[in-house]
Structure 1
Amino acid sequence: MNPLFFDLTVDKNSNTVSITREFAADKSLVWDAFTKKEILDQWWAPKPYRSETKTMDFKEGGFRLYAMVSPKDERHWAREDYEKIDASESFTASKTFCDENGVVASGIPSSMWKHHFSEKVSVTTVNIDIRYENAAHLEKMIEMGFKEGITVCLNQLEALL
């Protein structure tokens, strides 16, 4: 079997990150991995961190409130607000850091994530386009290790599938 494709491109001119990742799994399984909390929590944090979802309502207007939990049990909270969902095909969500109640402090940057899923001969391709509000927010995420972290997470998902 050919190696599965992975690409992560940062465009500082448009404040975007584009990710393309192939998985040797049916699209329905990959879709579920992005949209069901019991599966998300198994891969959506780079080890040794873990993901804990406090609440998730995957529907337009719904949101996911979750924590990235460190080995010392420190919690870093985030929320994902679902804006548009085309079942089994795509979804768009804004993501931001928040407190344990989902309250976003003023001045906290958010990013817009567009996910698209396609399948060809038992290989599912996920395209994720992320737009940041400005170059400073994009730079901050890169400095915090976003590229390395998302790569680890997607590799964990591949192993899970």
Structure 2
Amino acid sequence: MNNLTTNFTVDKKNNIVKVKRAFAAPRDNVWAAWTEPELLDQWWAPKPWKSETKSMDFSAGGQRLYAMVGPEGEKHWSRVDYTSITPKTNIKLRDGFCDSKGNINQDLPQSDWNIEFSESDGLTIVEVEIKHETLADLEQILEMGFQEGFTATLEELDQILTAKK
């Protein structure tokens, strides 16, 4: 484990969460971890939960349908709609909760993600900006444990990337 930490900030005025994390790994490896379903499923859930991708088309206009699977086998479904992809530098997507067929749950918040990948001093830096439609949506996601869960998943990704060296 290295000493890199996750910088998590909340901008309630603009309904935005910003997350910045550096990884001691090549950008190609970090990009693959965010874009290949078999790698995403290794880290995209805080333990003891796990991620299971049902389908994924990583292309602009494509989507990922996946479940967060709990220790008792319970499943919480989500859908990611990829809106823009610039290879190895940027992913833009719309994220929302859904059913197992990908039908969005309108009772839960959706958000727009902008994920930037860059390299500096031998590190790959990932900067995530998550925009919510309303302050109430942002606060609901935070109350659901998003900060703790996403921070834990990024730590899991760090461990996987470190082990890959």
Relative to the length of structure 2, the TM-score reads 0.94
**What is the CA distance between 1:122 and its match in structure 2?**
2.1
**What is the CA distance between 1:113 and its match in structure 2?**
0.5
1:125 and 1:51 map into 2 onto residues whose CA distance is 23
Q: What are the superposed Cα offsets for residues 68-118 of structure 1, whole Å, 9 maximum, x if unpaired?
A: 000110000000000000001101000000000001133442100000000
For 2:154, the equivalent position in structure 1 comes to 154
For 1:140, the equivalent position in structure 2 comes to 140
2:84 and 2:16 map into 1 onto residues whose CA distance is 19
1:105 and 1:38 map into 2 onto residues whose CA distance is 25
Measured on the aligned residues, the alpha-carbon RMSD in Å equals: 1.1
What are the residue-to-residue correspondences of 1:32-71 with 2, within 5 Å?
A: 32-71=32-71
* 1:7 and 2:7 matched: yes
SS of residue matched to 1:47: coil
SS of residue matched to 1:138: helix
For 2:113, the equivalent position in structure 1 comes to 113
Q: Extract unaligned runs of 5+ from structure 2.
A: none
**Which runs of structure 1 show a deviation greater than 4 angstroms over 4 or more consecutive aligned residues?**
none
1:151 and 1:104 map into 2 onto residues whose CA distance is 25
One-letter amino acid matched to 1:144: M
2:37 and 2:104 map into 1 onto residues whose CA distance is 21
Number of paired residues? 160
For 2:103, the equivalent position in structure 1 comes to 103
Q: Extract unaligned runs of 5+ from structure 1.
A: none
2:5 and 2:38 map into 1 onto residues whose CA distance is 26
Judge conservation of contact 2:82–2:91 (CA < 8 Å) in 1: yes
**What is the CA distance between 1:5 and its match in structure 2?**
4.4
SS of residue matched to 2:61: coil
